[in-house]
Structure 1
Amino acid sequence: MKRIWEWTGIDTIASREAEREAPGAGQVEIRIRSIGICGTDLHIMSGHAGFGEPPLPLGHELSGVVERLGAGVSGWQIGDRVCIDPLIGCGTCAECRAGNKHRCSAAGEIGLQFPGGWQEYLVVPAANLYRLPDSIGFDEATQAETLHCCLGGIDKLDIRLGQHAVVLGDGPTGLYYVQLLKAAGVSRVTLIGMQDSRLALGRRLGADAAVNLRQAEAGDRLPEAETQDIVIDAAGNEASIQLGIELLKRGGELLLFGLPGERIKVDVQTAVLKELRLLGSTNAPHVWPRVLDMMASGRVQVQPLITQRYRFDQLDQAIAFARDSSGEAVKIIVNNDEPREESR
């Protein structure tokens, strides 16, 4: 048996016991050790995301240990430390065969469309596992999923040494983008958000300037219009996209990463007249090994973003804190350090 937490309805979760699944051919059972609480989880629970249907265990930022191997699995041993790519494609379409499973029309994600890691044990395709270097802990490893999405966005940009960039949004993805832009050689990175504590963290992680939008008129100064080579919108709302269009130089690049959750108006006329490049970015399956290398080398820091930790039996409390913390939380991690005797 195993214990699982399920999204059961609008903003509600419940815990129950369930049978453990045996891994099938090409599959591996993972004992989940750490789970990152993502804003997407909260969005799904609110009923506005359009992903999955309750009852469903959520959780797509995951790390753990190999527990059982299915038939035909090679290259893995019981006890191996891993993180999990949650994206599963059909495996046979042209996009999947080209390595672009994120563009597969039938693709889905563990913790979104498929049962996720809010459970003690999870069966996943062996092809979705990545081995953890010894220097990366389980809690840090959960962030490889978020970081791989961000690095995929960086790869789409035409970054050149000495450029100026703005990151809109001071959540975890915005803080990762600050680090990735500096690692890519951007000369000056400005982080724009609304939480002083997160903006201060952004400065410690490499931002050359940080601006609180709530205080922009009282002291914090936004960059001048048409001064930025690159803008990354990690906020995902109409106002942030409009600000990005205004800040960009003619010929600049706007990476659209945040999800508005609804249709919004975009100033297409200005974007056209300024000859801006607007790029969308989601997953990037090919960058996972690079993400782990960057984490292991310390070129991207994860630990400073982890602000709260909970036990697995406190997952409901972790969700409540994430929803009601008024910006106090940056990244919440739920840990399951030891399996219960009855789950073995």
Structure 2
Amino acid sequence: MRAVHVTAFGETPTLVDLPAPTAPAGGVVVDVELTGLCRSDFHGFSGHDDSIQLPYVPGHEFLGGIAAVGEGVTGWSVGERVTAPFVCGCGDCAWCAAGQSQICPDQSQPGFTYDGSWAEQVVVPAAEHNLVAVPESLPGTSVASLGCRFATAFRALRERAQVRPGEVVAVFGCGGVGLSAVMLASAMGASVVAVDVSPGALEIAESVGAHRSVNVTGLNPEEVAAKVRAAASDIDEGDSSSLAGTTAAPGPGPHVALEALGRAETLESGLLSLDPLGRHVQVGLFAEAPRTLIPRVVALELSILGSHGMAAADYPALLEMLVTGAVDPGVLVTRELGLDEVPDALAAMSGGTQPGVAVIRP
């Protein structure tokens, strides 16, 4: 099979022919229909993840059809259309039994702990536990990001932050997971403040549900927090104009801050923007440990919540939102690449991420 192959961290990968995988006991092989190009892939490629062993094939969110079924697998057949979480649980531990596979101590991750989906085929271990059936009616572009970005945002908002209708949610970083969070929070009945330095990303955020957008180019965390609090206050006043590029006085802050970049200054901005009893959800991955404003967390009784993907058991509620049309992740897709375009696209992420979501068609 053709696959994107990384042989050295930070060096442009190559497109090669590799032996096609065989279905392991309990697992399946999936023919990849679409797969995502995610910022997490760039973190792995840059050497920020100790779980990766060179050489390897990146790619951790995908959609496809079952090509082969391993020994002992029941309930799944060749040809069925499926996806899987980027965190695959072992299926045997207490955490998996409780439906919390995203924190399974014996988890595996395509594109990180084993060869991923930037290829014509990918393996899903413990298939009966990790596979998710995908309705044929859903377009591939609407499903391709469910393995990571959209599902991660869904669980971060619904289960971790427990967002309620009428609350204000500030999303810091409008890449793939941030834009997913904007769309989902709006669909959940929250008012959304989108925060970024890219006018293109903020424009997309407004088109998918952001009530306010805040361009924070060149601002320090205190200045960012002041603008975000002003935007949250302005929502209550019913003004539909964007706050991008403006300066406003501080006001009441958001109830929830979701950080989707993995930057120390953005985490700080989120914590500074929150009202007392606010909830900060950390989704972005850090290359190095950030400073945390613990005295503020204690004084205002803030909550800091981690969110790491979503177990297969929780996908039906998310898929129902897609089937009913409440959300459509497909509108976030701005680029479709072939495998031959991926090596250069991955290397180019060192200069920043293009607005929207990119998908790969092997």
TM-score normalized with structure 2 length: 0.85
| 2:302 pairs with one of 276, 287, 295 | 276
Supply the distance in 2 between the matched residues of 1:327 and 1:17 (Cα, whole angstroms): 28
Q: Is the 8 A contact 2:6 2:54 kept in 1?
A: yes
Percentage of pairs with the same residue: 27
Q: How does 1:9-20 map to 2 (within 5 A)?
A: 9-12=8-11, 13-20=13-20
Supply the distance in 2 between the matched residues of 1:104 and 1:239 (Cα, whole angstroms): 30
Supply the distance in 2 between the matched residues of 1:279 and 1:100 (Cα, whole angstroms): 15
Supply the distance in 2 between the matched residues of 1:329 and 1:251 (Cα, whole angstroms): 32
Matched, 1:248 2:274: yes
Q: Match of 2:143?
A: 141
Q: Is the 8 A contact 2:4 2:339 kept in 1?
A: no
| 157 and 328 in structure 1: CA distance in 2 versus 1, 3 angstrom threshold | closer
Shift of 1:276: 1.0
Q: Match of 2:213?
A: 210
Deviates more, 1:169-178 or 1:313-322: 313-322
Shift of 1:30: 1.2
Q: Match of 2:52?
A: 52
| 123 and 157 in structure 1: CA distance in 2 versus 1, 3 angstrom threshold | closer
- The letter of the residue matching 1:266 is T
Q: Secondary structure at the match of 1:102?
A: helix
Shift of 1:73: 2.8
Supply the distance in 2 between the matched residues of 1:21 and 1:131 (Cα, whole angstroms): 21
Q: Match of 2:254?
A: 228
Supply the distance in 1 between the matched residues of 2:72 and 2:93 (Cα, whole angstroms): 23
Matched, 1:191 2:194: yes
Shift of 1:108: 2.3
Q: CA RMSD in A?
A: 2.1
Q: Deviations over 1:216-256 (max 9, x none)?
A: 78942467354221111122222112222221111111112
Q: Is the 8 A contact 1:58 1:112 kept in 2?
A: yes
Supply the distance in 2 between the matched residues of 1:54 and 1:123 (Cα, whole angstroms): 18
Q: Match of 1:317?
A: 344
Deviates more, 1:169-178 or 1:89-98: 89-98
Q: Is the 8 A contact 1:226 1:246 kept in 2?
A: no
Q: Secondary structure at the match of 2:255?
A: strand
Q: How does 1:75-114 map to 2 (within 5 A)?
A: 75-114=75-114
- The letter of the residue matching 2:321 is M
| 1:157 pairs with one of 149, 157, 161 | 161
Shift of 1:334: 1.1
Supply the distance in 2 between the matched residues of 1:17 and 1:316 (Cα, whole angstroms): 14
Work out which structure has the larger RCO, using CA pairs closer than 8 Å and 6 or more positions apart in sequence.
2
- The letter of the residue matching 1:185 is G
Q: Secondary structure at the match of 2:205?
A: helix
Q: Secondary structure at the match of 1:279?
A: strand
List runs of 5+ in structure 1 lacking aligned partners.
Answer: 337-344
Matched, 1:31 2:57: no
Shift of 1:66: 1.4
Supply the distance in 1 between the matched residues of 2:248 and 2:28 (Cα, whole angstroms): 50
Q: Is the 8 A contact 1:254 1:278 kept in 2?
A: yes
Supply the distance in 1 between the matched residues of 2:264 and 2:111 (Cα, whole angstroms): 27
Q: Is the 8 A contact 1:223 1:247 kept in 2?
A: no
Supply the distance in 2 between the matched residues of 1:158 and 1:327 (Cα, whole angstroms): 29
Q: Secondary structure at the match of 1:119?
A: coil
- The letter of the residue matching 1:233 is E
- The letter of the residue matching 1:202 is A
Supply the distance in 1 between the matched residues of 2:248 and 2:306 (Cα, whole angstroms): 24
Q: Match of 2:228?
A: none
Q: Is the 8 A contact 1:226 1:250 kept in 2?
A: no
Matched, 1:306 2:310: no
Supply the distance in 1 between the matched residues of 2:162 and 2:340 (Cα, whole angstroms): 45
| 165 and 122 in structure 1: CA distance in 2 versus 1, 3 angstrom threshold | closer
Q: Is the 8 A contact 1:224 1:247 kept in 2?
A: no
| 317 and 226 in structure 1: CA distance in 2 versus 1, 3 angstrom threshold | same
Q: Deviations over 1:180-236 (max 9, x none)?
A: 2122221x2111111001101111111110010017789424673542211111222
Q: Secondary structure at the match of 1:244?
A: helix
Q: Match of 1:168?
A: 172
| 1:262 pairs with one of 288, 305, 310 | 288
Q: Is the 8 A contact 2:9 2:46 kept in 1?
A: yes
Deviates more, 1:243-252 or 1:96-105: 96-105
Q: Secondary structure at the match of 1:264?
A: coil
Deviates more, 1:301-310 or 1:166-175: 301-310
Q: Is the 8 A contact 2:86 2:309 kept in 1?
A: no
Q: Secondary structure at the match of 2:23?
A: coil
Supply the distance in 2 between the matched residues of 1:321 and 1:307 (Cα, whole angstroms): 16
